[in-house]
Every structure is written in C-alpha cells, then in structure tokens.
Structure 1
Amino acid sequence: MTKRNTREIILEEALNLFAVKGYQSVTVKEIAHAVGIKDSSLYKHFDSKQAIYDTLLEWMNQKFEETVTFYRLPQGEIESVAREYGRNDLIWLKKACEAVFLFFLKDPQAAKFRRMLTIEQYKSDNAAKTLNSWFFNDAIRFQTDLFKEMIKQGSFRDGPPQIIALQFYGPFYTLLCQYDQLPEKEAEALELLMAHIEQFAAIYQIRNEEC
C-alpha cells in the first residue's frame, strides 16, 4: 500500500472538516489537530487555509477530468462532441450519465467537496461561484451548446436548446441531492435516472433509421 504524504493527509482532513462545518467555520488549528501535526508544521505545506481550498479545487477538477477520460466521454470541439453523442446509442448514453452521476454521488472527495460548497455558498462568494460553475452554469451552458449543435447536425429534434438543457439536467441534479448520503438506495436512484434518460431520448433523439 502506498503511504500517503503529509500534504495529501492535510487535504483529506481539511475536506472532511469542510464537508461537515463549512470552510469559514474551520480553523487551521483544527485541520492540524485532525492531521496530528502542529500549526507551524501545516504551514510548511500550505501558506494559508485559502491555499488548501484552492488546491482542493484543482484536485477536484483533475479527478473529474480523469473520470471523463476513463469512461471515454467525448471531449474537444463542440461539433465533434455533438457528432459523437449523436452517433452513439441509448445504452452508451446511459453508461455515460451513470458514470458522471456516480462520480458526484459516490466519489469520497467529490461528494464531500459538493457538500462543502452547498454549506458555504451563503457565506462565501468564492464557494457560491464554484458551486454555480460546477453544478449549474457550466453544466447547463455545455448542454445548451451540445443540444444546439445536435439539432443543427440533425440528430436531435428542434427546440429551444437552453430549455432542453434544463429539462435534461434538472432531474439529474435533483436525484443527486435527493439520494445524497443514502447509499442503500443507490439502485433506486439509478433506476430513476435511467428512466429519465430513456424518456428524454424518446422525446428528442432522432435515431439513424428516422433520418
């Protein structure tokens, strides 16, 4: 087993505390105590609590990119991404959505980071901006652009792209919040998510045989 270094332990313990108490309520002394080191020793690894937060954000972005790459989800120019989504079948779409959903629901760091942002959004402008970027603005903007391009390419039925994006993403995020911290009901959450995707695809997707 690979031994974790002190810097990694600081990040993990800080995230554990942030997910329960929020960023603003946690002190450097509490983080150091959770790690089992002195405050002065913590500052050898991070200049401030803000530096810990910034590193956690970079860490989460990296973990998500690794998940996207692992499951071979389309990346790059929106035209090629839309083409890839358009040519793949419903089984592939379900697997792609399941991978992203379970990352935010079950990945220990990602789930805790989301909880921290949820707690902290009313206390910190930075947390509110990060939450909106991760779970609202960027997600809806990407899907709006994706559906707009898919309509243009003829693999999606015509309609207002932003509204279609909201129709797709709304249930996704609702289920994420509803089943957070309910690991025993993961199968139920996935069943509802898959039913939503089937219904959405039935309404909007134009299959090859229809073209």
Structure 2
Amino acid sequence: MERRNTKQLILDEALELFSVSGYDGVTVKDIADAVGIKDSSLYKHFKSKQEIYDSLLEEMDARFAETVSMYRLPQGEIKRVAAEYGRNDLVWLKQACEAIFLFFLKDPKASRFRKMLMIEQYKNSNAAKTFQNWFIDSAMHFQTELFSEMIAQGFFRKGPADIIALQFYAPFYLILCQYDTMPEKEGDAVMLLMRHIEQFAIVYQIRNGVVK
C-alpha cells in the first residue's frame, strides 16, 4: 500500500510542477524533492521523467472515461450514439455539456493537465500532439461524425457537419479559457455555456419534423 501511495504522490506532484513550469522546466530532482524522497527512490517507481509524463496521460484518459461513464453519455457505434443524442431533450444535453465543461474547468487534475499542455505545447512536440489530440482533433472529429449522423437521422437541419461542429465546440472551448483564472465566476461561465447550447439548438435542432 505504501508503495502504491508513493507512486501516486509522484504523479500528483509531477502534474502540479508541470502545470506551473512545463515539462522541460521540471527535473526528476524537483519531483523527488516535492514528494520528499531521494532521486534514487523515485526511480524505483518510474524509469524516467518521460514515463511519469506518459503515466499522467494514461491517468487522464481513465479519469475522462470515468466522467463520461458517470454521466451516462452515449458511447460506441456512431449511429446508436446519434440516435441517443437525438432522443434526449435539451435539458439532458445541457446537463451533459455542463458535466464535461466543469470536469476540465474544476477537476484539479484535469485543470492542471490542460494547463501543463498549454504551457508545453510550444516547446515540446509530444505535448503539442497531446494538446492537439485532446482539445481539438478528437473533439472535432467526434462532433463532426455525430452531427453528420444526426443530420442523416433527421434530428438536425442540413448543413456542413464540420462547420456545425466548429460552431458548437469553439464557444465551449473559448468559455473554458475565458473563465480559467476566475473560479469565483463559475456560475457565470455555466450560464453563458447554457445560453450557447440553447441558441445552438434553436438554429440546428429538429423536433417532430420542425426546426426549433
């Protein structure tokens, strides 16, 4: 148990340091000092700083998957996912978007992970690829496929799915960045996000054969 706790503490302290100074700005000694152990002890748990970084990526993948599962967001084959999104009402969509938004805004590890990547993306090609994949490519790819299928199934009005995805996701990410350093204004951030989703639904959603 002690060994496992020490390993987790190394990851936690490394993430905190990376989120402030970036990957290249932190040494193994810095991490060991933050944990309160010797460098040699740290190497019993991780072979290198890169392995710590890779473990943080795996941990974030798991935490995000856990959040998606907790809020029962549709997963799997895109036709079934689109059908589930189409059947659910606007209240459900707003709750789902709020859950994901607050995960990246408030979850201590998710927030630090995002800040780490934002700092490091201009200096470290691996961090740049991770940032691009997590916060741009994966999100846009999924939403483009989702909206394309929702158009095909008659839940959305016709239009270029990639542009519809951009119109949905860009404000989401902009609001996240806008309120990133203002935790006391979380309520304002969520309210603005909800207004965005309501307007998006008015423009694109079809209910009972009618564009809302």
Give TM-score, length-normalised by structure 1: 0.97
Number of matched pairs: 210
Aligned positions of 1:64-83 closer than 5 A: 64-83=64-83
Partners of 2:99 and 2:193 in 1: how far apart?
A: 12
Partners of 2:169 and 2:101 in 1: how far apart?
A: 11
What's the counterpart of residue 148 of structure 1?
148
2:43 is the alignment partner of 1:21: no
Partners of 1:8 and 1:73 in 2: how far apart?
A: 28
What's the counterpart of residue 190 of structure 1?
190
What's the counterpart of residue 160 of structure 1?
160
Partners of 1:114 and 1:193 in 2: how far apart?
A: 19
What amino acid is aligned across from residue 22 of structure 2 in structure 1?
G
What's the counterpart of residue 110 of structure 2?
110
- State the 1:181 CA deviation: 2.4
Segments of 5+ residues of structure 1 without an aligned counterpart are: none
Partners of 2:148 and 2:6 in 1: how far apart?
A: 47
Across the aligned residues of Structure 1 and Structure 2, the Cα RMSD in angstroms comes to 1.4
Q: CA 1:51–1:3 in 2, change beyond 3 Å: closer, same or farther?
A: closer
Q: Deviations over 1:123-148 (max 9, x none)?
A: 11100000010000110010000000
What's the counterpart of residue 92 of structure 1?
92
Q: Percent identity?
A: 69
Segments of 5+ residues of structure 2 without an aligned counterpart are: none
- State the 1:182 CA deviation: 1.1
2:178 is the alignment partner of 1:170: no
Partners of 1:185 and 1:177 in 2: how far apart?
A: 13
- State the 1:210 CA deviation: 2.7
What amino acid is aligned across from residue 64 of structure 2 in structure 1?
F
List structure 1 segments (4+ residues) > 4 angstroms apart after TM superposition: none
